[in-house]
Structure 1
Amino acid sequence: MNITYNSVKTKVSGLFQSSLFKNSSWGIISQMSQTLFLSLFFVILARMYPTGIFAKYIVANAIYQLVTAFSTMGLSQWFIREYMHTEDKPKMISKFIKMQIYFGLIFYAVNICLAFLLYGDQFTRVLIILMGVNVIFDNLINGIKSLNIANFEQKKTAIILTIESVLKFVAGCVLFIYPFSIITLSVILIAIRFLTLNLFLVIGSSNMITIKTLWGCSVSYFDLKAMVIMNWAFVIIGGVSIINWRMSNIIISKVLTAFDVANYEISFKIFSIAQILPVVISTSVFPLLVKHYSKHDKGDFFAFYKKMHVYYLLFGWLAYTFIYSFSNKLIPLAFGNAYLNNAEYTRQMFLTILVFPTALLQANVLIAMKMEKQDMLFNIIALVVNLSVCLLGVLYIKSLAVVNYSIFVSFLVFHIAQDILLLSRKMTTLLSVLKFYIISAAFTGGYILLSKAINPYILFTLTWIITLAVTFAGNKLQYTKPAILSKSMSR
């Protein structure tokens, strides 16, 4: 008993001391608090503004996020990977940040062009142009966030972004006392983002970024061109992941109704909350994958990947079962009876969470192995699948369900393509891949069937008691076998 207690105590102590736990815990705590305030802010907007105005705000936000995805040129992961090995870190930081400033200015101009090309409505154009100002600020903030990840200092990023989320929530609360237009709100949000940028420059950059160092750093047109050409795979990876989601907003706004735009955004907002945990943990997992892969012996790299794969898989199941059981109660409670039927759309979208976490992990594995071009190709294939299924489906079946299912199909194709490559690199086995899909399908299908006969609270609780017990027993058996084998061999 004492041995068991001591071993558990040692494992818990080791967990709390690990860099993965320290950095991820700060990110998770921060993201949870941000999510709380930003979700409340979003709920306030959905309740305070008419659906038509709210839908236009969503469209403007989608355009801004779409442009932002490309404005960083997808260089964050490249910077984190290269920063860990470069000797002249100050020079690399200054050059990276200055490039982000230039890219931000260029893509703000792109944002303005899209406002006039895509929409004839003057109100929507003004919203797109106003919100697009954040592209410039976001690029600088993204650069400093990447620096903090590379230095394992996510704590700074967490504190600053939490402050920003609180300020946005306060701005939303003012609407109850003094209602104002969505244009005025957009100006206030720009001011808050500018304040966030200044906090990042003063607190978040560890004095590694100053006006003097940026001014002294020379970045020419040819430097920008060379950087993009050398790392064009990252540019596409960074952009495609956002296009997969945000192009749907534009398609819906053109083909379906304003109410469908609002419904899609509510489902996506809930999905965004669910993906926080794997995304935040990935910011700490990725540098560790790079570190393990740099070693001559790749045993630690394989073991770390397999362990993370189990955790990511379980999270996907947990998120899906929770939404399937409780979305019909929680969504009307949060957004009002106007969105009473949204639960079904959210359940459809959450099929993607079954493959999203492990696809994210496998994408990080490929980039750590310097196979970003293959990952880029998979992203392009997924985008083509998504847009093809979505456009064809919406033309013949004018339903939001088509959009949600097209996203799921695209991520499924993306995951399968990754599996095939990892199989060829002997990172996994065919049996493991088949078990992933068969068990996931059986788990999901079984849960859906049982939900028709069992109370959702009882079903959810029992499902996760059994699932965690089986997982724990499996891990225990896995670690016990080598010990038994080693004892028998010593005899």
Structure 2
Amino acid sequence: MILYYFKKITSLWQSSLMRNSFWGLASNISQALLISLFYVMLARKYSATDFSYFLIAISIYQFLTTISNLGLGQWFTREVANTGNTEKIISKFLKLQLYCGAGFYLFNVLIAFALYDNHEIRLLAALAGINIVFDNLIYVIKCLNIAGAAQHITFKIVVADSILKFLMVLLFCFFPMSIIALSFGLICIRFLTLNLFLKFGLRQRLDTRSLLINKIPIKEVARIVINNWPFLVIGSASVVYWRIGNIIISKMLSLFDVAIYEISFRIFSFFQIVPLILSATLFPHFVSLYNAGNTSQFTACYKKYLHFFLIYGLFIYTFIYSFSGWMVPFLFGQQYAAAPIYTEQMFLTMLLFPTGMLQATVLISMKLEKVDMIINIISLIIVVSSILVGLSFIHSLTVVNISIFISFLIFHICQDYILVKKGILTIRGVMNFYSATVLFIAGYAYLTSKYMAVTLFGIVWALVAVVLTITRWIKTVRSQSAIADTHTL
């Protein structure tokens, strides 16, 4: 059985798609880990007020930087693959992203001045917003690396960027600096990262003369955006979904609540990487199966990975439920001792997030990106309205976390409805999914009140691992026996 899995992994590594996806996954996990450490150091070294000011500025910047690239990554990747004159398309896309970055930077400053009277928040937002321009240019090269199966370049530069940020905070431990000075230092690091991307990502692909010669008319920009606008909504909805929550909290709750929410989200964002990257990796496979008209294999592939994503969500939630009580204060400091309960609440969404990302991938592979876009918009409207109405009556982060969970539950149910209509899912299968999730979590919560969380977590997941391994082995043996019987006949 071990030999079987070894051969399987070896065969997967021989695929250029899997190798490219591996570098994408490694890049994102490494970056998330180092960025998480970066925020841990910030939370421990700065006051809750300064930390919150910084988080508000970063939230505005991240909110806009997701929209500023116009969601044109897939269009650009496709054009690079299909167009012979790659230098022309690269120079046009680079110019487009530069103009959009500059425009959204100005919008970033206007939002900061319109929403906040605090001088420090405005200054931090103006500094952080400069990264929008840098990020847009980096976005071009990242997409180019994906199209050219050169994710290893992205991996190396992204890790270097994260290490430099972390080292800067370590330097702060010995030479204290203001939050403004730190923000300026982060801009310098991002500028260095941009130059690394330009040097190693665009080397021998583009020259300055080509960048000056090739122009992109406004009509062409409008045509590209109109033809690809569903991808803008789909690509930006997730980040907008989370970042807008922090902006609302900063206006309706305390600065301390801003810090608590960000701590919970930083932990959540680390664990959401695996389903996001794996869903993106599976996308080409789903597309090929669907285009081939092989409905049975398409459905079987979806259901197989659905089980994995479900188990991942259950595992991560029970991990946080069992260990967040001591883990969060240990990492971020005792001043945030109130954070664990809100972290547990936020991670309720993790029960649905992995399978939700998988089902979004399935819908897009079935050319239902407009349907997925509508579902995203519905979910976004629900979460914003729920938070605003809820906080008007109850001033607590619980309102925010429960609103996020409810909106994502509706998001998931809408996906289920579409997949049932398309014959990919059955009503019975949907009911089994929700029943299994509720019973498992309810049973785990009950047992946690009776036994030590650490011991229970280890025993439960050891048993799950044994059951899954035996089940997989039995299926493999049966499959081999069936093949042998066929040859005998």
Please say if residues 59 and 243 of structure 2, whose CA atoms lie closer than 8 Å, have aligned partners that are also in contact: yes
1:252 aligns with 2:242: no
Q: Tell me which residue corresponds to 1:344.
A: 341
Shift of 1:86: 5.0
Residues in 2 aligned to 1:383 and 1:87: alpha-carbon distance in whole angstroms: 39
Aligned AA for 1:64? Y
The 1:282/1:141 distance shift into structure 2, 3 A limit, reads: farther
Equivalent position to 2:190, from 190, 193, 215: 193
Identity across the alignment (%): 43
Return 317-326 or 465-474, whichever deviates more.
Answer: 465-474
Please say if residues 112 and 125 of structure 2, whose CA atoms lie closer than 8 Å, have aligned partners that are also in contact: yes
Shift of 1:253: 0.9
User: Deviations along 1:104-158, whole A, 9 cap, x unmatched?
Assistant: 1121121111111111222111111110010011111112212222333221111
Q: Does the residue aligned with 1:60 lie in a helix, a strand or coil?
A: helix
Equivalent position to 2:329, from 325, 328, 332: 332
- Give the 5 Å matches for 1:47-62: 47-62=44-59
Shift of 1:479: 5.2
Shift of 1:30: 3.2
The 1:270/1:209 distance shift into structure 2, 3 A limit, reads: farther
Please say if residues 95 and 216 of structure 2, whose CA atoms lie closer than 8 Å, have aligned partners that are also in contact: yes
Equivalent position to 2:173, from 173, 176, 179: 176
Residues in 1 aligned to 2:146 and 2:152: alpha-carbon distance in whole angstroms: 9
Shift of 1:267: 0.4
Q: Does the residue aligned with 2:347 lie in a helix, a strand or coil?
A: helix
* TM-score calculated relative to the size of structure 1: 0.93
Residues in 2 aligned to 1:152 and 1:289: alpha-carbon distance in whole angstroms: 19
Please say if residues 33 and 270 of structure 2, whose CA atoms lie closer than 8 Å, have aligned partners that are also in contact: no
Shift of 1:238: 2.5
User: Deviations along 1:386-422, whole A, 9 cap, x unmatched?
Assistant: 0121111111111101101111111111111111112
Q: Tell me which residue corresponds to 1:465.
A: 462
The 1:86/1:451 distance shift into structure 2, 3 A limit, reads: farther
User: Deviations along 1:437-463, whole A, 9 cap, x unmatched?
Assistant: 111111122111111112222211122
Residues in 1 aligned to 2:50 and 2:184: alpha-carbon distance in whole angstroms: 16
Shift of 1:476: 4.3
- Give the 5 Å matches for 1:219-258: 219-258=216-255
- Give the 5 Å matches for 1:8-27: 8-19=5-16, 21-27=18-24
- Give the 5 Å matches for 1:2-401: 7-19=4-16, 21-80=18-77, 83-85=80-82, 88-205=85-202, 207-297=204-294, 300-401=297-398
Residues in 2 aligned to 1:294 and 1:83: alpha-carbon distance in whole angstroms: 22
The 1:59/1:470 distance shift into structure 2, 3 A limit, reads: same
Residues in 2 aligned to 1:92 and 1:308: alpha-carbon distance in whole angstroms: 36
Q: Does the residue aligned with 1:133 lie in a helix, a strand or coil?
A: helix
Residues in 1 aligned to 2:305 and 2:213: alpha-carbon distance in whole angstroms: 42
Aligned AA for 1:434? M
Please say if residues 280 and 361 of structure 2, whose CA atoms lie closer than 8 Å, have aligned partners that are also in contact: no
Q: Which runs of 5+ in 1 are unaligned?
A: none
Shift of 1:327: 0.7
Shift of 1:34: 2.5
Residues in 2 aligned to 1:28 and 1:231: alpha-carbon distance in whole angstroms: 26
Please say if residues 92 and 214 of structure 2, whose CA atoms lie closer than 8 Å, have aligned partners that are also in contact: yes
Please say if residues 49 and 255 of structure 2, whose CA atoms lie closer than 8 Å, have aligned partners that are also in contact: yes
Please say if residues 73 and 143 of structure 2, whose CA atoms lie closer than 8 Å, have aligned partners that are also in contact: yes
1:444 aligns with 2:452: no
Say how many residue pairs are matched.
488
Shift of 1:487: 6.8
Please say if residues 153 and 201 of structure 2, whose CA atoms lie closer than 8 Å, have aligned partners that are also in contact: yes
Shift of 1:9: 4.0
Return 36-45 or 279-288, whichever deviates more.
Answer: 279-288
Aligned AA for 1:329? W
Shift of 1:228: 1.5
Residues in 1 aligned to 2:206 and 2:373: alpha-carbon distance in whole angstroms: 31
1:403 aligns with 2:390: no
Aligned AA for 2:424? M
Please say if residues 74 and 239 of structure 1, whose CA atoms lie closer than 8 Å, have aligned partners that are also in contact: yes
Return 364-373 or 208-217, whichever deviates more.
Answer: 208-217
* TM-score calculated relative to the size of structure 2: 0.93
Residues in 1 aligned to 2:325 and 2:52: alpha-carbon distance in whole angstroms: 22
Q: Does the residue aligned with 1:207 lie in a helix, a strand or coil?
A: coil
1:424 aligns with 2:421: yes
Please say if residues 260 and 336 of structure 2, whose CA atoms lie closer than 8 Å, have aligned partners that are also in contact: yes
The 1:443/1:82 distance shift into structure 2, 3 A limit, reads: farther
Return 258-267 or 115-124, whichever deviates more.
Answer: 115-124
Residues in 2 aligned to 1:69 and 1:6: alpha-carbon distance in whole angstroms: 44
User: Deviations along 1:27-65, whole A, 9 cap, x unmatched?
Assistant: 333334323322222122112221111111100000000
Please say if residues 149 and 283 of structure 1, whose CA atoms lie closer than 8 Å, have aligned partners that are also in contact: no
